[in-house]
Amino acid sequence: MGYDEFYRLSVEEPERFWGEQARLIHWETPPQQILDATKLPFRQWFVGGTTNLCYNAVDRHLAERGEQLALVAISTETGVTEEISYRVLYREVNRFAGILKGLGVGRGDRVVIYMPNMAEAVYAMLACARIGAIHSVVFGGFAAHNLALRIDDAEPKLLICADAGMRGGKVIPYKPLVDAALAEAKAPPPHVLIVSRGLDKDMQRVAGRDVDYARLRAEHMNDEVPVAWLESNEPSYLLYTSGTTGKPKGIQRDVGGYAVAMAMSTRLVFDIGPGQVMFSTSDVGWAVGHSYNVYGPLIVGATSLLYEGLPTNPDPGIWWRLCEKYRVRTMFSSPTGIRLLKKQDVSWLKKADLSSLKWLFLAGEPLDEPTAHWITDGLGVPVIDNYWQTETGWPVLTLMPGLELKPVKWGSPGLPAPGYRMKVINEATGEEAAAGEKGVLVMVPPLPPGCLTTVWRDDDRYVNSYFSHFRELLYSSLDWAIRDADGYTNILGRTDDVINVAGHRLGTREIEESVATYSAVAEAAVIGMKDELKGQVPVVFATLKQGAAASSEEAARGMQQAVTEQLGPIARPARIYVVNALPKTRSGKLLRRSLQALVQHTDPGDLSTLDDPASLDEVRKALERGPDLGS
């Protein structure tokens, strides 16, 4: 069956279609009903079926491929590579699950995982899945305040952390950040399980609270922990993402729907089946890491490469040598990753034998044409741009070479993936936009399997954030889009105050709140400015309190330090301007879009709601003068 027929079936006969896809995974009890869409926008897939993500990712493969590599954890930072077969993975996950149980973690309990790309992070996730605990992995680049916010929302029974991560040869201790987060959190867990690689020699332990993984592992060497069979719609994991408020949203995923979406998409989108090798360069803390470093490749019985390190260390040929060594078939990275390599000599792409490599997938941010051309020509393999969100868990717009490769159109992530009923809506009229007309990209519910089921403990936020933008009940992606006559869609950027830095989504509101914690600041506005390498970078405009003692430069340094300490280096402002006034509407809303337009020399749009026109002149003057920090 070709793409057109496959897609048509998925949207016209979803129950038949997904009923068939459900056979790709093991069900302990088969579903009684494929879809319950009686309470839209909520929906339940595979109702009454019981299954388990860990069983599907590990146990199920033991008989046929126990000795095959399941995971290769490569660190060019520590110099250690671990080649882990399905049998070894099974043993390690059972030990880890034994440790979790010993620490009182059970079905439905939350476990926060704060670790870099290392094998134990994967063991921890799978061990949670095995016993029905809900994991919430927090990206290691986030700092204490971000971690504390997530802890307070998830209320975990346990936090698992590494002693440290490494970047460019520099040790980045995690434990002090954990200690600071737990001091700030209102709901700190009773225990912290520390997986130490001996990187942080000065690590402090809190007696009674902190426990050591290596010691407990030795006690649980022979544990066999039974799989908890979960109803398909029970929560499997939470993944926090930024929105327009300062409070991150806990994207909640189910069990059965996610497993089926992973089994189908890994095969048909990423063209990876049993015994084949996939290399995703994502961090486990992101949606791509969850889906295509851990669950997707393992559920289909493939080998997954997990990489800790820079793409240029020890040299810019490292990724391609790994492709050669492990016979990688599908590689998955981000446009920023490729733009980093583009600064290096193109000959690095030619040094390794890439005869096994069939596809390079790129996602997370817009793929610019020069980068797409550079890497396509350099590697000589098709580059497939795919569009999705933390919320969806797997591609929404893509091409599906595992099924049928439709032509690549530069600048577009392609066509809807199975099950996604997409429309582009004209924001003013609420009607569907014509081909070639800009609008908001939406999905008609029910959302397909794998997409979020709700926002953790906040059904209202799920409805209000995503389904309350139009007259009709539609999921808003909060992205602008334009669709051509063949159905290929181009993404034109966010409709909300979210920016995308190196493929990482950041809420401008979160950064503003952090800037405002610096004592001299009266108010701050943050926007995203175009950047050659990272796509966008945060830029701050701030007013100071009357009588603030700090000079503009001192204040700017203080603001930057506050953001880096509280949110982490990814949110670090590239430029800070201290101004006398910020542009606002008469009702007091910050006009971030006008600010952005001034910075990028584009049309500032409708200024009729502007309260004080002099505020824009203030900003213009500041731009002419140059930033108080940054260049």
Q: Site residues (CB under 6 A) for ligand AMP?
A: 241, 287, 363-367, 385-390, 413, 477, 479, 491, 494, 500, 505
Distance of CA 435 to the CA centre of its chain: 30
> What's the residue count for the chain?
631
Q: Is the dihedral of CA 487, 492, 497, 499 positive or negative?
A: positive
How far apart are alpha carbons 193 and 173 in whole angstroms?
15
Task: Closer to ligand AMP by CB, 50 or 536: give it.
Answer: 536
How far apart are alpha carbons 388 and 34 in whole angstroms?
24
Task: Closer to ligand AMP by CB, 54 or 360: give it.
Answer: 360
Residue 353 Cβ vs ligand AMP, minimum distance, rounded to whole Å: 29
- Rounded to whole angstroms, what are the CA distances from 596 to 506, 536, 613? 16, 11, 16
- Region for 450 from its dihedrals, namely left if φ exceeds 0, alpha if ψ lies in -120 to 50, beta otherwise: left
Residue 390 Cβ vs ligand AMP, minimum distance, rounded to whole Å: 3
Residue 367 Cβ vs ligand AMP, minimum distance, rounded to whole Å: 6
Residue 488 Cβ vs ligand AMP, minimum distance, rounded to whole Å: 12
Amino acid of residue 360: L
Distance of CA 613 to the CA centre of its chain: 39
If one counts every other C-beta atom within 10 angstroms of the C-beta of residue 103, the result is: 18
Residue 441 Cβ vs ligand AMP, minimum distance, rounded to whole Å: 9
Question: Cβ distance 166 to 119 under 8 Å?
Answer: no
Secondary-structure breakdown of the chain: helix, strand, coil percentages, each rounded to the nearest 5: 30, 25, 40
Question: Cβ distance 387 to 363 under 8 Å?
Answer: yes
Phi, psi of 297 (to 5 degrees): -60, -35
Task: Closer to ligand AMP by CB, 193 or 491: give it.
Answer: 491
Residue 504 Cβ vs ligand AMP, minimum distance, rounded to whole Å: 6
Which two tokens mark 355?
Answer: 């005869």
Task: Closer to ligand AMP by CB, 433 or 550: give it.
Answer: 433
Residue 269 Cβ vs ligand AMP, minimum distance, rounded to whole Å: 13
Task: Closer to ligand AMP by CB, 309 or 366: give it.
Answer: 366
Residue 285 Cβ vs ligand AMP, minimum distance, rounded to whole Å: 11
Residue 463 Cβ vs ligand AMP, minimum distance, rounded to whole Å: 19
Closest by CA position to 15, among listed 40, 45, 42: 45
Alpha helices per DSSP H over 103-228: 119-131, 144-154, 175-184, 213-219
Strands 359-363 and 383-386: parallel
Task: Closer to ligand AMP by CB, 389 or 566: give it.
Answer: 389
Task: Closer to ligand AMP by CB, 178 or 415: give it.
Answer: 415
Task: Closer to ligand AMP by CB, 26 or 572: give it.
Answer: 572
Residue by residue, DSSP assigns 104-134 as T--TT-EEEEE--S-HHHHHHHHHHHHHT-E
Whether the bond into 190 is cis, omega within 30 of 0 = no
Task: Closer to ligand AMP by CB, 127 or 363: give it.
Answer: 363
Triad 402, 405, 408: Cα angle to 5°: 135
Residue 227 Cβ vs ligand AMP, minimum distance, rounded to whole Å: 30
Strands 134-137 and 110-114: parallel
How far apart are alpha carbons 148 and 159 in whole angstroms?
11
How far apart are alpha carbons 294 and 304 in whole angstroms?
7
Task: Closer to ligand AMP by CB, 417 or 550: give it.
Answer: 417
Task: Closer to ligand AMP by CB, 185 or 506: give it.
Answer: 506
Residue 293 Cβ vs ligand AMP, minimum distance, rounded to whole Å: 14
